[in-house]
Structure 1
Amino acid sequence: MIKLKQRHFNFQTGFFRYWTLLLFLAFTLPVFPQEQDFINAQLIDSQTKEPVIFATIRIKDLARGVISNTDGGFKIPNSFKTLGNVLIISSMGYKSREILISELSSIDLNFIQLDARIFELSEAVVKAKRKRKLSAEEIVRRAIEAIPRNFPTNSFSTIGYYRDYQLDENSYVNLNEAILEVYDQGFYELDQETTKVKIYDYKVNYDFKRDTLAQQPYDYTSKRKTIDKAYLFNYGGNEFTILRIHDAIRNYKIDSYAYVHRLDTDLLNNHYFSKESETLLDDDVLYTIKFRKTYPGFSALGRLFISKRDYAIHKMEYAVYDLWSRKMDKKQKKRGNNKQLIFKIIVEYQKVDDLMYLNYISFQNRFQLFSSPFMVTDIIPDFIEKRFKVKFNNRPYGEVAQIRGNYRVMYKGKELTLTKIAVRDNTVLLYPDLDLGGAHEMFKEIDKVSNIKKIGPEVLNFEFAKEIIDVKGHNLNDGVYKEYNQFREFFVQEVKPNVKSPVDSLFMEKRKPIFKDQPIIKPDNFNDYWMNTPLQNIKTKGNSGDN
């Protein structure tokens, strides 16, 4: 404890002189507002006044920068202001801008306007000999065939800002952040097997709301947290691993995600393609190819942005919607939107030294969080007794809980016969007939992976009737669902071509949560990178007097 020394003033002399001195200082010393560590800015469309999202902001003559957030916001360390650096801002379909960092305020939020760039024939190079117009399918086929030519096949690294978070309405929840260096062995190698990751730093951001229920892993056993009509493998709970596997361009030779599957063999076969108006990125003219597919209950929609010059894929967008969802909110129905998003992926590449390297990737999926006074909390296989322990959060009512018709256990599409049901406190014991439906094989398969939660519902699935009640009369699963949007994103700040991963170093464990007991290694130049934390309570529109 710090004790303050006491000084006694004569009321008529000392105190008066002391108060006069304070007044004098107050009127004569300039008052400087405290400068922040970062310059905060927001990009807006000069016409619509809407935020420009995922724009690239680079520091001129330096190989690093940031990507604007979904609110158009970004931040730059204040240290660049004194160095006379210039920001280069570019975004697909907009005119690039250069801005002196010294002209930006270190105190207030800076609004920066971007003008839409309309593609005109005069901007295209017209050749004397007219070429045959390519169909959308032919353009996509050439782009896929050109991946080994346009993307790096030698080792390289990317350093960037990673984050995962959820959106509850429009509020950030459970925001986690990190600075990572990703050592990629090149596009000829399988990413999941050969890529290594260093964690420079991570932060669980408590400036934003934390929701412990929404933080829990996906649970397709108790159905407490699920993606409706979809299944997401958790890869040991590592969110960055989940994000990387959803880059279909990097993983063009393996199964990446639903409907796209293997980009090199399945994309063209699974979708219908059409051309849209061409667009511009700096001086590069890009084909815009729309592709879609409708399945029973689902629709898939995507776009590819492909260079006319060398067929390099600059950007890929892909979204899958549920057409039959009953959980659509009133706002959606009022807007006439009859599609519920299941997942959406945006990945963009940038050209560095004539090759395409990742610029950013954003993976969004919608999930449901279930809350009920009476629900299943866990299902545990008992290998010794050859039974399942179904645990509830309350004690089930005995007579109803022992009715066999209230349970269905499906193994590889076949329903198992239950020979016995017993109730023990909060647990119901289910005994399948070991001689029917492959029950012996089922227990061997579960025992092999040692955890029932690692087996997807397409292999082993449990269904429970709502007629099951607890001792207080609550029906099973008679509760409410709350919808959240989950985001995982990586924004590259620096690309290092022809860099190999260090031999003697500690790397992230890919099948372990990124924010749980992972090695942290800060390089000497750690301050060259920063977390582009989203702004809180940011306005989404600027005014005509902005930069």
Structure 2
Amino acid sequence: MKNKFLILFTACCLIFICNTSSIYAQADTSFKELKGKIIDSNTNEPLIFADLVINNTNISTISNSDGDFILKVPESFLDGHLTISRLGYHKKELKISTIGNNEKIDMEPTPTQLDVIQITLPKDAKSLFLAALKNKSTLYNNSNTEMTAFYRETIKKRRKNASLSEAVVQIQKQPYNSFKKDGINLIKARKNTNYSRLDTIALKLQGGPFGNLYTDIMKYPEFIFTDEDIELYDFSFAPSTQIDENLVYVVNFKQKPHVITPLYYGKLYIDAKNLALTSAVYSLNVENKTLSSQMFVRKKPRKVDVYPTEANYRVNYRTQNGKWHYAYSNILLTFKVNWKGKLFNSVYTLNSEMAITDWKISDSKFAKNVKSNRLHPTTILIDQVSGFSDPQFWGEYNIIEPEKSIESAIKKIQRQLKRS
């Protein structure tokens, strides 16, 4: 498959020893930490994937699956403003000094039924998407860009966390009009793996942060829509929506009925004004267990069958100074593991997410990565890092607030460290 980098996954019958040595970093107190929850103003339901950006900066974060967020604001911007935006909601701007701790911030939905006068749909959904791809050289950032990103990777056996890895990485983001691949350097990382929950099989996600980076459809369209594969899809329009008061076309895509090879299906969100892809939510068709398993499973015991039951992807883009760039992505993979001769099977969920928390334009060409910190597309993150550290580990780096189940796992690990 041409999208091999997007879904590299390894399952192997090896037990790995977890080294719990700690890495320490000096705490930096030259910032204010904001914590809160983004909710719907009508239903009070949490809003996931809301963008939070400090005005006139590239410092940002995103709300998690519980609607919670955490944002570290440098002292020099405490008198500034915070802008919050989300697909389908009116943009909100708040003065940072007025935001309290653990504050609930409500957002007002945009009308679900848009005025038909303002909607002039292109005749062909496929042509609209192709036009968006063609426009990437003018609409997306074409400068060398150094991005700071937070990456989290979890493996769960049913509902219990079995492995948790987190990292701050530096991305050497190549211009969108260039065919050069992006590079990644590891800045800080920590992990904990409980192999007793993994029984006799250890699951590892190959690719680490690269897997999330390759969901950037505008930079890497060949991993989903090659010139050959795009003819195997049906495209159609779904009801339009809004983001930041701008009209957004919604394009559905799915593989044609006669196609046997597992392809993708989902939604593409395209700005109606400039035809920029603002986000995409899609899944792999895993109905064919044999073929979809071959796409993911690199190595496994002979007496076990491993196949995916779901493979979901999301990528969000953000605009700054008139140019769009990669901002966030999420990958959720669920697998069933059946041992021959055993009555019950095991279900494992692998989730990885990466958010750009800061970035700057690099005027010169990227220097070669420092070998000791360089990550490769074949990297397995939990083999690269040593263990969970003290509570001040991240210093001033912005992270994604962990969901409640992951937060509980982190607290439990910290209690174990204190007792030891």
Does TM, normalized by the shorter one, top 0.5? yes
Summarize the Cα distance change of 1:118–1:85 in structure 2 as closer, same or farther, 3 Å threshold. same
1:480 aligns with 2:344: yes
How many angstroms apart in 1 are the aligned matches of 2:405 and 2:47? 17
Instruction: Name the counterpart of 1:202.
Output: 189
Summarize the Cα distance change of 1:324–1:124 in structure 2 as closer, same or farther, 3 Å threshold. same
Gaps of 5+ in 1: 1-35, 217-221, 227-231, 326-339, 373-475, 520-525, 540-547
How many angstroms apart in 1 are the aligned matches of 2:369 and 2:76? 37
Summarize the Cα distance change of 1:533–1:324 in structure 2 as closer, same or farther, 3 Å threshold. same
Give the number of the structure with larger relative contact order, counting CA–CA contacts within 8 Å between residues 6 or more apart. Answer: 2
Q: CA deviation at 1:357?
A: 0.4
Secondary structure class of the residue paired with 1:480: coil
**In the alignment, which of 279, 298, 303 is matched to residue 241 of structure 2?**
279
Deviations 1:217-261 (A, max 9, x none): xxxxx9x468xxxxx9x6xx4412233334333212x3x1xxx35
How many angstroms apart in 1 are the aligned matches of 2:279 and 2:40? 20
1:249 aligns with 2:218: yes
Instruction: Name the counterpart of 1:240.
Output: 209
Is the CA contact (8 Å cut-off) linking 1:160 and 1:180 kept in structure 2? Answer: yes
Instruction: Name the counterpart of 1:212.
Output: 195
1:266 aligns with 2:208: no
Letter of the 2:242 counterpart:
L
Instruction: Name the counterpart of 2:323.
Output: 355
Summarize the Cα distance change of 1:111–1:189 in structure 2 as closer, same or farther, 3 Å threshold. same
Secondary structure class of the residue paired with 1:58: strand
Provide the aligned length of Structure 1 versus Structure 2.
347
Question: Where do residues 401-412 of structure 1 align in structure 2 (5 Å cutoff)?
Answer: none
1:509 aligns with 2:368: no
Summarize the Cα distance change of 1:115–1:509 in structure 2 as closer, same or farther, 3 Å threshold. same
Q: CA deviation at 1:183?
A: 0.4
Is the CA contact (8 Å cut-off) linking 2:155 and 2:348 kept in structure 1? Answer: yes
How many angstroms apart in 2 are the aligned matches of 1:247 and 1:300? 15
**In the alignment, which of 111, 131, 136 is matched to residue 118 of structure 1?**
111
How many angstroms apart in 2 are the aligned matches of 1:102 and 1:84? 6
Summarize the Cα distance change of 1:155–1:518 in structure 2 as closer, same or farther, 3 Å threshold. farther
How many angstroms apart in 1 are the aligned matches of 2:98 and 2:121? 49
1:530 aligns with 2:363: no
Summarize the Cα distance change of 1:133–1:104 in structure 2 as closer, same or farther, 3 Å threshold. closer
Instruction: Name the counterpart of 1:151.
Output: 140
Letter of the 2:43 counterpart:
T
How many angstroms apart in 2 are the aligned matches of 1:509 and 1:215? 26
Instruction: Name the counterpart of 1:61.
Output: 56
Summarize the Cα distance change of 1:117–1:173 in structure 2 as closer, same or farther, 3 Å threshold. farther
Q: CA deviation at 1:308?
A: 1.5
Secondary structure class of the residue paired with 2:128: helix
Q: CA deviation at 1:517?
A: 4.5
Percent identical among aligned pairs is 17
Summarize the Cα distance change of 1:491–1:319 in structure 2 as closer, same or farther, 3 Å threshold. same
Secondary structure class of the residue paired with 2:175: coil
How many angstroms apart in 1 are the aligned matches of 2:85 and 2:168? 23
Is the CA contact (8 Å cut-off) linking 1:307 and 1:314 kept in structure 2? Answer: yes
Summarize the Cα distance change of 1:357–1:324 in structure 2 as closer, same or farther, 3 Å threshold. closer
Letter of the 1:66 counterpart:
T
TM-score, normalised relative to structure 1? 0.56
1:292 aligns with 2:254: yes
Gaps of 5+ in 2: 1-30, 290-307, 387-393, 408-420
Letter of the 1:501 counterpart:
F
Is the CA contact (8 Å cut-off) linking 2:66 and 2:404 kept in structure 1? Answer: no
Is the CA contact (8 Å cut-off) linking 2:136 and 2:276 kept in structure 1? Answer: yes
Q: CA deviation at 1:197?
A: 1.5
Instruction: Name the counterpart of 1:494.
Output: 358
Instruction: Name the counterpart of 2:83.
Output: 88
Is the CA contact (8 Å cut-off) linking 1:44 and 1:111 kept in structure 2? Answer: yes
How many angstroms apart in 1 are the aligned matches of 2:344 and 2:83? 48
Q: CA deviation at 1:125?
A: 6.1
TM-score, normalised relative to structure 2? 0.71
1:73 aligns with 2:68: yes
Is the CA contact (8 Å cut-off) linking 2:52 and 2:60 kept in structure 1? Answer: yes
Letter of the 1:494 counterpart:
D
How many angstroms apart in 2 are the aligned matches of 1:322 and 1:512? 25
Is the CA contact (8 Å cut-off) linking 1:225 and 1:368 kept in structure 2? Answer: no
Summarize the Cα distance change of 1:163–1:517 in structure 2 as closer, same or farther, 3 Å threshold. closer
Question: RMSD in angstroms over aligned alpha carbons?
Answer: 3.6
Q: CA deviation at 1:71?
A: 1.7
Summarize the Cα distance change of 1:275–1:91 in structure 2 as closer, same or farther, 3 Å threshold. same
Q: CA deviation at 1:93?
A: 0.6
Instruction: Name the counterpart of 1:308.
Output: 272
Deviations 1:85-122 (A, max 9, x none): 4321100110111233344443xx33222111116666
Which structure has the bigger radius of gyration?
1
Letter of the 1:99 counterpart:
L
How many angstroms apart in 2 are the aligned matches of 1:290 and 1:369? 32
Is the CA contact (8 Å cut-off) linking 1:509 and 1:518 kept in structure 2? Answer: no
